[in-house]
């Protein structure tokens, strides 16, 4: 048994990961089972640098606000602003405060210095402008889309004026009220104004699509791409706010699904640009349904990875990260009858695992799913082994 497991073990480098795959995927996703651990993020940085330098990947997309990510992209591709401004204004979820994310942005800028545009590495956030406590106002996305179209098409083609959008949007605090996350009555998502905005957003996106040949010629593909991002974000946010006002038992399942659908649309847009690397929580990238215990009970929905995989097929690859201990969070040595426990018995401090081969090696061993004493860590589900292209295993995660 031990020999079979060792046959699944590889060194941690890009070549080992690529050796698990039949071809270079268009989207190569690396998951993590917990957020905010610098040791895991630095390992991500190390692997992503190798994928860029050795395999020709040209975009790095992470689980962060897609609109804020434009600040980072402008900095790493053209030097707009400063490193401090990029990490402070370019990440959501407070990810900019993490040293490893700062290191990633610094490296991307240094890598791009003096290179032609075709060889530069792009940055993208692929999450919606969402937090666990609520969602952003659709103002930024809607007004940016309207502004782009106003400058590029005849005024009579526009479905409304900027003043109409401003009046319907009202104060941003109406949209961002954190109480609306748990109290649907506090949401404005099904108000008459929100309904009108959804229709106008749809018409603006339709106009963008209809004028594509002219707009790409007049403004360039990058600006048109950015306008499409504004359109996806505006319609996605308005849909999410509509869901926040839902009073049915399916409310949270719909909201979780809405978020991952926004993620999937952004990832597909990134993939259309060329080979890209993706980093997020395992639960957003796996091919199986995601589950979460919420205040009203368990909810499940299809993850962004599942949605993207369904469309891209073999051009999507997913490598999960599993780990042994996070002792500073109370996560101690895993039980031997778990995937993590079987890997913890190896001598390697970190390694790449051939997931299908490991599944075969463990096929005769009844495995349980590890139970975490800390809410911030999600153990690897052994049922997911056969649907993962690989695993990165980190034996012990030191305190950042």
- Each residue of 5-46: pLDDT tens digit? 999 999 999 999 999 999 999 999 999 999 999 999 999 999
At 326-367, the pLDDT tens digits run: 999 999 999 999 999 999 999 999 999 999 999 999 887 789
Phi, psi for residue 14 in degrees, rounded to 5: -60, -35
DSSP character string of 313-369: GGGEEEEEEEEEEBGGGTB-PPPTTSHHHHHHTSS-SEEEE-HHHHHHHTTTS--PP
- Confidence (pLDDT) at 133: 84
- Confidence (pLDDT) at 294: 76
- Confidence (pLDDT) at 186: 97
At 70-90, the pLDDT tens digits run: 999 999 999 999 999 999 999
Nearest to 110 by CA among 80, 132, 79: 79
- Confidence (pLDDT) at 132: 82
> How far apart are the C-alpha atoms of 378 and 280, rounded to whole Å?
13
E runs forming strands in the chain: 9-10, 27-32, 59-65, 122-127, 130-131, 134-135, 276-281, 289-294, 297-302, 316-325, 350-353, 390-396
Token pair, residue 361, equals 């090696």
Average confidence (pLDDT) over 369-379 = 95
- Given the DSSP bridges, would you call strands 134-135 and 130-131 parallel, antiparallel or unpaired? antiparallel
- Given the DSSP bridges, would you call strands 122-127 and 9-10 parallel, antiparallel or unpaired? unpaired
pLDDT at position 1 over 70: no
In this prediction the pTM is: 0.96
At 178-214, the pLDDT tens digits run: 999 999 999 999 999 999 999 999 999 999 999 999 9
CB atoms closer than 10 angstroms to residue 261 = 18
CB atoms closer than 10 angstroms to residue 280 = 23
Average pLDDT, the chain: 96
pLDDT interval class at 2 (50, 70, 90) = very low
pLDDT at position 120 over 50: yes
Phi, psi for residue 116 in degrees, rounded to 5: -65, 160
> How far apart are the C-alpha atoms of 67 and 61, rounded to whole Å?
12
Tell me the CA distances in angstroms from 248 to 109, 142, 253, 260, 295, one per residue in order. Answer: 47, 28, 10, 20, 14
Average confidence (pLDDT) over 213-225 = 97
First to last CA, the chain: 35
E runs forming strands in 148-245: none
């Amino acid at each position: 048994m031990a020999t079979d497991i060792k046959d699944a073990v590889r060194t941690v480098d890009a070549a080992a990961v690529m050796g698990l795959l039949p071809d270079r995927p268009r989207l190569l996703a690396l998951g993590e089972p917990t957020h905010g651990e610098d040791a895991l993020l630095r390992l991500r940085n190390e692997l992503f640098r190798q994928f860029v330098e050795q395999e020709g990947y040209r975009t790095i997309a992470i689980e962060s606000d897609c609109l804020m990510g434009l600040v980072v992209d402008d900095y790493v591709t053209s030097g707009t602003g400063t490193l401090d401004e990029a990490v402070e204004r370019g990440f959501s979820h407070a990810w900019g405060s993490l040293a490893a994310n700062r290191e990633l942005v610094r490296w991307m800028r240094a890598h791009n210095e003096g290179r032609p545009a075709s060889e530069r590495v792009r940055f993208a956030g692929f999450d919606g402008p969402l937090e666990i406590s609520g969602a952003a106002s659709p103002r930024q996305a809607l007004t940016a889309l309207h502004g782009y179209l106003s400058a590029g098409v005849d005024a009579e083609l526009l479905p409304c004026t900027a003043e109409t959008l401003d009046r319907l949007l009202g104060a941003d605090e109406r949209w961002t009220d954190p109480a609306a996350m748990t109290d649907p009555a506090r949401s404005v998502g099904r108000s008459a104004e929100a309904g009108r905005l959804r229709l106008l957003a749809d018409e603006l996106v339709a106009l963008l699509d209809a004028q594509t040949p002219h707009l790409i010629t007049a403004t360039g593909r990058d600006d048109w791409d950015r306008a499409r991002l504004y359109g996806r974000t505006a319609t996605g946010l308005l849909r999410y706010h509509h869901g926040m006002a839902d009073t049915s038992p399916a409310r949270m399942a719909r909201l979780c699904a809405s978020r991952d659908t926004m993620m999937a649309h952004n990832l597909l847009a990134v993939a259309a640009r060329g080979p890209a690397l993706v980093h997020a929580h395992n639960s957003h990238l796996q091919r199986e349904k995601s589950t979460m215990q919420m205040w009203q009970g368990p909810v499940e929905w299809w993850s962004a990875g599942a949605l993207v995989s369904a469309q891209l097929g073999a051009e999507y690859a997913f490598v999960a990260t599993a780990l042994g201990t996070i002792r500073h969070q109370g996560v101690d040595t895993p039980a031997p009858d778990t995937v993590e426990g079987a890997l913890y018995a190896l001598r390697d401090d970190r390694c790449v695992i051939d997931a299908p081969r490991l599944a075969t090696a463990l096929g005769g061993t009844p495995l349980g799913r590890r139970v975490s004493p800390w809410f911030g860590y999600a153990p690897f589900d052994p049922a997911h082994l056969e649907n993962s292209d690989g695993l990165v295993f980190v034996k012990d995660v030191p305190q950042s």
